Amino acid sequence: MNSGALLRVEDVGRDFDVSRPWLDRVIERAPRQLLHAVDGVSFEVRRGETLALVGESGCGKSTLARLIVGLYAPSRGRIEFDGTVISDPANHAQTAPLRRRMQMIFQDPYASLNPRWRVREVVAEPIRVLGLLSSDAAIDGRVAELLKQVGLSPDDGDKYPHEFSGGQRQRISIARALSGQPDFLVCDEPTSALDVSVQAQILNLMSDLQAQLGLTYLFISHNLAVVSHVADRIGVMYLGRLVEIADAQDLFARPKHPYTRMLLDAVPDLEMSGRQRTPVAGEVPNPLAPPSGCAFHPRCPHANERCARERPALAWQGGGAAACHAVEEKRI
Amino acid sequence: MSSVPKRGAEAPLQNPPPILEVRNLRIEFPTRRGTLVAVNGISFAIAPGEVLGVVGESGAGKSLTGTAIIGLLEPPGRIAAGEILLEGERIDQLKGEQMRRIRGRRIGAIFQDPLTSLNPLYTVGNQLVETIRTHIAVDAAEARARAIALLREVGIPAPEARIDHYPHQFSGGMRQRVVIALALCAEPRLIIADEPTTALDVSIQAQIIQLLKRLARERGTAVMLITHDMGVIAETADRVAVLYAGRVAEIGPVREVVRNARHPYTAGLMGAIPKIGAGAGKHSSRLVQIEGSMPRLTSMPAGCAFHPRCTKCFERCTLERPEPRPVGPNLAACWLYE
């Protein structure tokens, strides 16, 4: 397997203008207000691996997913797919064939399937749009094959989405994503709307498909336990920034960044080892007014004056990187 | 503290008498195409100071059981059979005004979304004072002092100032604390918490869970904690009831249910939960999967409702419905243990 980077994200940022209306601003002499949803994030996804991005709500992980698949344009930075820059809208002619190779699976299988279309049409749409097959018979055959691949019956193609349960709908979403023959899938919380027993089915299916088809996944989730079952490498985000990235095993065995440690501590303990959860003081700050320096410093037990002043950069050390002054200074 | 049952220990059901007792509860929804039975013969009890976790997947009937206990079942849903006893007294047949006196006073409720549980047009203090004065005969100043004390108890910093803020000025976690304070206003004997941490981030979840647990211990309040998150249950509950398709599949001390599940459904459910363990990392362990999904109310299988998905199913399972019977310290509704 080629171990090179399939996707490279370099210093990408995305701002949203959340200012009040123009007239209000003029009257109140209020400045424009920008929300930095993603703020200078860099990482790469290697061919055939699963990179997971985790973080709490509002950390920018879903925005990042949308930037990568092109649903949003980045405000800064660049995104490369298979060696070509895809983040520049002027480049559209060259990037269109590359875009076909990435697909997205969304969180809510109730909202992401058109209720008026039969499942067959839902799954066939990418095939028709991308012109992969022309004859109806060939398309029907391919759809039947895809439905079987995700564990549904070919006859299910004649039904409508409402006739399926949440887990089956997510299978339909996966079949649709696969119908364009992508090699890269961006999965935004694909199982968080599902019950645990169904979540297990979908996670197992996704790892089978990855092995069969050699897919590369960017897997976005807030649930560290889910991520530990699917990811090769894990990136942890906080307030729009990547604070740590490491191999999955390393991250769970030796988390570096204090925020990662906190997240791991907060995972409910099913083993009931009697471990005391250390509840963290405070909550995620308002992203409109992020703290100075390291965004985590007001909640961090290891913060000092430098953390409040200076924003830490991702520093590589071995196979992983953390953006933390305390780690860099070997204080923790 | 010493009178409170220990975590994981089987709570004696007779001594002290349970605060809540549900016997053979059956909830039906009459529809044009026939009657749907959403909850079919559920029984359990909760002792003072005990946290009973109620888990199950969507549609298992866990929230419905909670709403039936607080008397907020939406028509056409109705309690078709069974009894609900609060401190030994039947409350399932009480009419509007009588039930209203119990709700809030003797049963507190905490719901999933803290934003919709609070009125956005009134300050937090207003809502607390109103609730306190509705249930307890105190003057306005005394009620306000109590409200501030409650806010302090649920861990809201600077409660003297925060009491005059509106709900939107609080963050999600702080809002849920306010909702808990509101549920505690009249010092109820029973708290029904329906997915109290589901809308919150993991780091906040831990804070809220510890708060609930501490309050139950200190005040001897019985808590019915409804959630789909087994991790939350494992950390908070003393005993767990696992619901499946409107029935109790298994009920027992939390440790026994999580580590040593008797019912095949509970065992499957535990295996399906992703865990961060020693073997973290990809493909280290395949998750246990239970094939298929929970049956719809319109097509409930005969016999044991779980039999079409069960790997240990035999003939009797398809014919006769199993009742919960003692298996070790648990009760499990499964013919395997006949």
- 8-state DSSP, B103: B
Q: Are residues B201 and A279, on separate chains, in Cβ contact within 8 Å?
A: no
Kindly give the parts of chain B with pLDDT less than 70: 1-15, 277-285
Q: What is the pLDDT of residues A117-138, one digit of tens each?
A: 999 999 999 999 888 888 999 9
CA distance linking residue A61 with residue A53, whole number of Å? 7
Q: Are residues B276 and A228, on separate chains, in Cβ contact within 8 Å?
A: yes
Q: What is the pLDDT of residue A274?
A: 59
Q: What is the pLDDT of residues A167-205, one digit of tens each?
A: 899 999 999 999 989 999 999 999 888 888 889 889 999
**What b/e readout covers B296-315, taking b as 16+ CB neighbours within 10 angstroms?**
ebeeeeebbbbbebbeebee
Q: Are residues A279 and B207, on separate chains, in Cβ contact within 8 Å?
A: yes
Would strands B51-55 and B239-244 be described as parallel, antiparallel, or unpaired? parallel
Which residues in chain B have Cβ-Cβ distances shorter than 8 Å to A249? 280-281
Is it true that domain A5-101+183-328 has CATH number 3.40.50.300? yes
CB interface of B with A, residues 5-64, below 8 Å: 57-58
Which residues in chain B have Cβ-Cβ distances shorter than 8 Å to A202? none
Residue A21 — pLDDT band, cuts 50, 70, 90?
confident
The tokens for A44 are 């790469």
| Four-point Cα dihedral A219, A224, A228, A229, nearest 10 | -70
Is some CB atom of chain A closer than 8 A to the CB atom of B93?
no
Q: Provide DSSP, A180-204.
A: T--SEEEEESTTTTS-HHHHHHHHH
Q: How far is CA B132 from CA A315, B143, B147, B221, in A?
A: 54, 6, 8, 18
**H or E element that contains B28:** strand B20-31
Is some CB atom of chain A closer than 8 A to the CB atom of B268?
yes
Is some CB atom of chain A closer than 8 A to the CB atom of B169?
no
Q: What is the pLDDT of residue A280?
A: 64
Q: How many CB atoms lie within 10 A of CB A166?
A: 20
CB A136 within 8 A of CB A144: no
Q: What is the pLDDT of residues B9-26, one digit of tens each?
A: 444 444 678 999 999 999
CA nearest A102: which of A215, A221, A232, A230? A215
Q: Are residues B273 and A196, on separate chains, in Cβ contact within 8 Å?
A: yes
Q: Are residues A270 and B280, on separate chains, in Cβ contact within 8 Å?
A: no
> What stretches of chain B show up as alpha helix (H) in DSSP?
62-69, 96-102, 124-135, 140-153, 159-162, 172-184, 202-219, 230-236, 254-259, 264-272, 315-319
Q: Are residues B288 and A200, on separate chains, in Cβ contact within 8 Å?
A: yes
Domain with CATH 3.40.50.300 in chain A: 5-101+183-328
Q: Is the pLDDT of residue A272 over 70?
A: no
Any idea which of A256-270, A306-320, B275-289, B299-313 has the lowest mean pLDDT? B275-289
Predicted TM-score of the model (pTM): 0.83
Q: For A280, which of B203, B269, B273 is closest by C-beta distance? A: B203
CA distance linking residue A45 with residue A37, whole number of Å? 21
CA distance linking residue A79 with residue A9, whole number of Å? 5
Q: Which residue of A has its CA nearest to B231?
A: A268
Q: A93 CA to chain B: closest CA distance, Å?
A: 37
Q: What is the pLDDT of residue A281?
A: 67
Q: Are residues A268 and B234, on separate chains, in Cβ contact within 8 Å?
A: yes
For residue B88, how far is the Cα from the chain centroid?
A: 20
CB A39 within 8 A of CB A11: no
Q: What is the pLDDT of residues B40-50, one digit of tens each?
A: 999 999 999 99
Q: A55 CA to chain B: closest CA distance, Å?
A: 9
Q: What is the pLDDT of residue B11?
A: 47
Q: Is the pLDDT of residue A103 over 90?
A: yes
Torsion sign (Cα): B179, B181, B182, B184: positive
Starting at the edge strand found earlier in the chain, the sheet holding A84-85 runs A34-46, A5-17, A76-81, A84-85
Mean pLDDT across A20-43: 89
Would strands A216-221 and A184-188 be described as parallel, antiparallel, or unpaired? parallel
Starting at the edge strand found earlier in the chain, the sheet holding B330-332 runs B107-110, B190-194, B222-226, B51-55, B239-244, B247-253, B330-332, B325-327
Give the residue carrying structure tokens 């005990």: B50
Which residues in chain A have Cβ-Cβ distances shorter than 8 Å to B249? none
Residue A283 — pLDDT band, cuts 50, 70, 90?
confident
Residue A140 — pLDDT band, cuts 50, 70, 90?
very high
> What stretches of chain A show up as alpha helix (H) in DSSP?
22-28, 61-69, 92-99, 119-129, 136-149, 166-179, 196-213, 224-230, 248-253, 258-266, 305-309, 325-328
Question: Where does A33-99 show beta strands of DSSP type E?
Answer: 34-46, 50-54, 76-81, 84-85
- 8-state DSSP, A161: G
Q: Are residues B290 and A277, on separate chains, in Cβ contact within 8 Å?
A: no
Percentage of chain A exceeding pLDDT 70: 95
Q: Provide DSSP, A137-154.
A: HHHHHHHHHHHHHTT--G
CA distance linking residue A70 with residue A66, whole number of Å? 6
By CB neighbour count within 10 A (0-12 exposed, 13-18 middle, 19+ buried), where does B212 fall?
buried
CA distance linking residue A229 with residue B262, whole number of Å? 25
Q: Are residues A269 and B234, on separate chains, in Cβ contact within 8 Å?
A: yes
The tokens for A27 are 């009257």
Which residues in chain A have Cβ-Cβ distances shorter than 8 Å to B275? 225, 228, 270-271
CA distance linking residue B233 with residue B225, whole number of Å? 8
CA nearest B79: which of B123, B27, B132? B27
The tokens for A125 are 């749409």
Mutation site for A-interface testing, chosen from B282, B283, B296, B298 by largest number of A Cβ within 10 Å: B282
For residue B91, how far is the Cα from the chain centroid?
A: 18
- B49 Rama class: left (phi>0) / alpha (psi -120 to 50) / beta: left
Q: Which residue of B has its CA nearest to A56?
A: B201
At CB < 8 A and 24+ separation, what contacts does B88-97 make?
B88/B17, B88/B21, B92/B68
Residue A262 — pLDDT band, cuts 50, 70, 90?
confident
Q: How many CB atoms lie within 10 A of CB A171?
A: 25
Which residues in chain A have Cβ-Cβ distances shorter than 8 Å to B209? 268, 277
